[in-house]
Structure 1
Amino acid sequence: MISSDMADYLRVIQVERGLSQNTVKAYQQDLTAFARFLEEQKKSKDDVDHLVILTFLNQLRAAGRANSSIARMVTTLRKYFAYLKKEGLVAHDPMQTIKPPKKAQHLPAVLTIEEVDRLLAVPDLTTTLGIRNKALLELLYATGLRVSELVNLTLDDLHLDLGLLQTIGKGDKERIIPVGEVAIDWLNTYLRDSRPKLLKKQKADQIFLNDHGRPISRQGVWLLIKQLVAQAGIHKDVSPHTLRHSFATHILENGADLRVVQELLGHSDISTTQIYTHISKGRLTQVYDQFHPRA
């Protein structure tokens, strides 16, 4: 059970700073784990110094938590104690001398163009759900949408006559994304032929529906992608985000400007987008090793 101070902090970051629900949930999970630790140690926030923090982080490490998970915990606690200090709720900030563990560079999984083609060919276009799946996959790959943005898309967000859609991304930032002709065609087919059959007599503004006629969930999309990837015979750890990574990598490999890709993905910091340049360089090395006679 989190403390009242933690609950107040979570309300502040959601209401005043406009952080997304998923981000707030991640902070809540971290603070819940820390609150549980303090309860076990019979300590209050006033007892916390850097040694208490180090003990907690070492306990996480001993439990097998990854460096990236511990680094996120450090970030959460740093912001939480900075809030407490600013509000005069603690006399000192124990996080000032705590450094997060170094993150190992992690390049996201990316599908090749041939693998994308195989995946897009899987849906059964003779069925209502097959047409929905085809439209969903084509839209994900055509736009690089986050799965949360996909499931929240409404009919009013589509401007297919202009070849555009609008979405609200992280930090409640709106962006306009172009949509390719193939994706537009499948979206129109789905909206005309499949969505009314799924919707039946129910009402929903969201574009993509499950087989009960209700808006499909993030978990539903995740499970769907896993099933389709298995049917395509692709042996990679693929998630909806993999199509976003593949979208960014493929357009960069075909000459797109990094700033354009940043805008399309909705990244606030271009350093986040630059990871895709590393993926492209990795692809160059792979091609070189495969085809150069003296590689």
Structure 2
Amino acid sequence: MGSAIESFLTMLAADRGAAANTLAAYRRDLEGAEELIGDIATADRQALARLGQAWSDLAPSTLARKSSALRQFFGFLMEEGWRTDDPSPALPRPVIRRPLPRLLDHAEVESLFARAEFEAEDGRANAVRMLALLELLYGSGLRASEVVSLPLAAVPRDAPFLTVMGKGGQARMVPVSTRAGQALSRWLELRPSGGKFVFPSRGKHITRIRLFQMLKELAARARLAPEKVSPHVLRHAFATHLLEGGADLRVLQTLLGHADIATTQIYTHVDSARLVALVNERHPLAQRHRAD
């Protein structure tokens, strides 16, 4: 029932603000399932069990994504009254272990900022721009795509907040620290005129790839391993260091723009891992073991 899939995708776009790439991924998964077992809107548990067998060679993460798409689809059918039963329990439930994000410690972040601030002292535009980018990535926890595509209209003159358009077209208010605001103001004074983006380049804005490259180059100049530094690693550092400082998980969810708090909870695992490492390194018995 192709119309059921279309209705489901329309709901995702209208009610959840799903982005085009997200909708395309759901479509591929649902239509791919139909190619294997026929009309999924009328599929029973036996059909879904066969589907699980056909997917048995897939990676656990891929299998989990496809199963999740179907579960949500059947939930939608029941809410709309198109089905009275839910066959989705017959779908596989692979156990996914989400990897802990790569992190920078406080000393590494300090080294990165020290280098960026030193280079920006003489007022060169590229160096001031780099400092402003760094402040927004680590100081506000923005995604790379949110930073590079930040419009001038998102920067208020008299309020310490940015209006950021996140995933799925969801807008959120992001606080900007005093030092980040100062770096941003310095850059706006030097920014080339014209265009609608804070960080313009060639008629549009700098790309995520160029931002990635600039951070790697800065890391090398700061004598850090370039492979350890990326926009996403700085976002992880922002979240982890805030949590270490006592930030509430719900507040962190809002700042990061996570739709599901389960995504934010990865940082509780990061903090736990840090505590275990601390005990292993600093506990008297651990030191005695090394001496032995």
TM-score range, shorter-chain basis?
A: 0.7 to 0.9
For 1:22-41, list aligned pairs within 5 A: 24-36=20-32, 38-39=34-35, 41=36
Residues 1:48 and 2:43 aligned together:
yes
Distance 1:48 1:130 in 2: 59
Offset, 1:289: 2.1
Offset, 1:155: 2.0
**Which amino acid is 1:234 matched to?**
A
Structure 1 residues 38 and 174: alpha-carbon distance in aligned structure 2, compared to 1, 3 A threshold: closer
Q: Secondary structure at the match of 1:103?
A: coil
Q: 2:203 aligns with which of 206, 209, 213?
A: 213
For 1:194-205, list aligned pairs within 5 A: 195-196=191-192, 202-204=194-196
Q: Secondary structure at the match of 1:159?
A: coil
Structure 1 residues 230 and 13: alpha-carbon distance in aligned structure 2, compared to 1, 3 A threshold: farther
Match for residue 253 of structure 1?
A: 244
Structure 1 residues 153 and 88: alpha-carbon distance in aligned structure 2, compared to 1, 3 A threshold: same
Match for residue 233 of structure 2?
A: 242
**Which amino acid is 1:150 matched to?**
V
Structure 1 residues 87 and 287: alpha-carbon distance in aligned structure 2, compared to 1, 3 A threshold: closer
Q: 2:142 aligns with which of 142, 145, 156?
A: 145
> Structure 1 regions of 5+ residues with no counterpart?
none
Distance 1:269 1:122 in 2: 36
For 1:1-295, list aligned pairs within 5 A: 3-14=2-13, 16-21=14-19, 24-36=20-32, 38-39=34-35, 41=36, 43-45=38-40, 48-63=43-58, 65=59, 67-87=60-80, 93-120=86-113, 125=120, 128-159=125-156, 161-169=158-166, 174-193=171-190, 195-196=191-192, 202-204=194-196, 206-210=197-201, 212-218=202-208, 220-222=210-212, 224-225=214-215, 228-229=218-219, 233-234=224-225, 238-267=229-258, 270-295=261-286
Structure 1 residues 29 and 177: alpha-carbon distance in aligned structure 2, compared to 1, 3 A threshold: closer
Offset, 1:227: 5.4
Identity over the aligned pairs, expressed in percent?
Answer: 35
Residues 15-41 of structure 1 deviation map (CA, whole Å, 9 limit, x = unaligned): x203231xx5234224314424533x4
Distance 1:58 1:152 in 2: 43
Distance 1:160 1:288 in 2: 46
Distance 1:231 1:140 in 2: 18
Distance 1:277 1:209 in 2: 36
Offset, 1:220: 4.8
Contact 1:143 1:247 in 2 (8 A): yes
Offset, 1:270: 4.7
**Which amino acid is 1:109 matched to?**
R
Structure 1 moving runs of 4+ over 6 Å:
none
Contact 2:148 2:206 in 1 (8 A): yes
**Which amino acid is 2:21 matched to?**
K
Residues 52-94 of structure 1 deviation map (CA, whole Å, 9 limit, x = unaligned): 434444444414x2x2332222111112233345556668643
Contact 1:160 1:184 in 2 (8 A): no
RMSD: 3.4
**Which amino acid is 1:50 matched to?**
R
> Structure 2 regions of 5+ residues with no counterpart?
287-292
Offset, 1:112: 0.9
Q: Secondary structure at the match of 1:177?
A: strand
- The TM-score, its normalising length taken from structure 1, stands at 0.76
